Structure 1
Amino acid sequence: MAFSFSFSHTFLHVLCVLSLLSLTHSQKHQQSVTESSIHDLLKSKGLPVGLFPKEVESFTLYDTGLLEVFLRGPCLTKFDTMAFYESTIRANLTYGSLTNVEGLSQEELFLWLPVKDIIVDDPKSGLILFDIGLAHKQLSLSLFEDPPDCKTEDVLNLKKRSRKEIGFDAQM
């Protein structure tokens, strides 16, 4: 009987240690804003610091490369055209690119199109590529030198006005 008690006690002890190691391992592979800023992270990955607005509250980078960026709320800013950030933006981060982007749209010809990928193939070219599904836009990297201010007021009104300007007034 003493053998089975000792074996159960040892097994339970090993299980607890493994659980703690697993928790510690997963925490080491996440990075939060307290360790560095999102803008420092972008720069270290070969991307311009102005891809995300100043209003970033926090971010998490997982060891899988998934990046989650959290803003105070949805907001609008302007690069070459208007850009809309949702409260949470997700993308896969690798050196020189954000792929499978969710939560970022750009206004093109009065339509809001989701940004799918953002890629800097050659920093010396001075260009950054935005994949908006229907097209690829090449923009000057100089548009993204500084994190932009992002306006939260009247976000919905601006999007509605864009539709109204071309005759698509919402029917209520």
Structure 2
Amino acid sequence: MSMKTLAPVFVLTALFFLLPLTTTTTTIQDLLRSRGLPVGIFPNNVKSYQLDRDGRLEVELESSCMAEFDGRVYFDRVVTANLSYGGLVGLEGLSQEELFLWLPIKCITANDPSPGIILFDIVVAHKQLSISLFEVPPSCMPQEVMLEELDRKEGFGFQK
């Protein structure tokens, strides 16, 4: 065989071996959807995420922030959980305000028997929310900005 006929064979062989090494970049929303969860559980400022073989999910945000679902939710800069189909278990880095207290959210489950319901396990209680609240990733604001907006809306003189 001449060099001219070997060149295309070499290129095709090299591509065959290199293609499996490339990975498809998916968003956190794609991952959540593929696991039976709504795409709006995490805010719109996700920087990156990692999912290991054991299902341990680590989501890194651009910064810690607050968002609104049916109340205020605080996201640490890094949120971790065990991801299974329809649930995030052993959550760390996520808390929700309930009656002026910030309580950690330990589990989020979307495979509840009631369709259209998502269940939040907030240490002392289970909270059922409409899954429609999680159709779109929420805007996430720095804590100071969220508190200033609350101060303007409700007219409180919030002390820092």
TM-score if structure 2 supplies the norm length? 0.75
Q: Does the 8 Å contact 1:74/1:155 carry over to 2?
A: no
How many residues of Structure 1 are paired with residues of Structure 2 in the alignment?
Answer: 133
Residue equivalent to 2:58: 68
Match of 2:32, SS state, is helix
Q: Does the 8 Å contact 2:66/2:146 carry over to 1?
A: no
* Matching residue's letter, 1:37: T
Match of 1:64, SS state, is coil
* Matching residue's letter, 2:136: D
The aligned runs of 1:8-157 (5 Å cut-off) are 35-122=25-112, 125-152=115-142, 154=144
**Using a 3 Å threshold, how does the CA distance of structure 1 residues 68 and 155 change in structure 2: closer, same or farther?**
farther
TM-score if structure 1 supplies the norm length? 0.70
**Using a 3 Å threshold, how does the CA distance of structure 1 residues 101 and 47 change in structure 2: closer, same or farther?**
same
* Matching residue's letter, 1:141: I
* Matching residue's letter, 1:106: Q
Question: 1 CA distance for matches of 2:29 and 2:140?
Answer: 15
**Alpha-carbon RMSD:** 2.6
Q: Deviations over 1:63-121 (max 9, x none)?
A: 01000000011000000010000000000000000000000000000000000000012
Q: Which runs of 5+ in 2 are unaligned?
A: 1-20, 152-158
Q: Which runs of 5+ in 1 are unaligned?
A: 1-27, 162-168
Question: 1 CA distance for matches of 2:145 and 2:126?
Answer: 25
